[in-house]
Amino acid sequence: MQTTITDNGVFINCPFDHSYKPVFDAIVFAINSLGFVARSALEIDDGAETRLVKIERIIEECKYGIHDISNVALDPGKSSWMGLS
């Protein structure tokens, strides 16, 4: 299937927990106020696609992306093979 990239689509990759919602809302507001279209895995939940397939499709359709990895923690058991220990 041919994927169409939109010039104004911005994929948001961030935590979706309750405490992050105000930050997520601010990101969406800023994106929209600048004339872009905010996209995330939350936009469609119809069960027709698996979550990973949906995320992959949305990323492919967006020209830009915002990735907030501030909530990511290192797994101590995996740090050695990543060269981080």
Whether the full predicted model's pTM is greater than 0.85, yes or no, is: no
More confident residue, 3 or 67: 67
* ∠ CA 6-26-64, rounded to 5°: 25
Residues in the chain: 85
Phi, psi of 57 (to 5 degrees): -65, -45
More confident residue, 21 or 75: 21
Look over the chain and give the mean of its residue pLDDT values, rounded to a whole number: 82
H or E segment and range at residue 24: helix 21-33
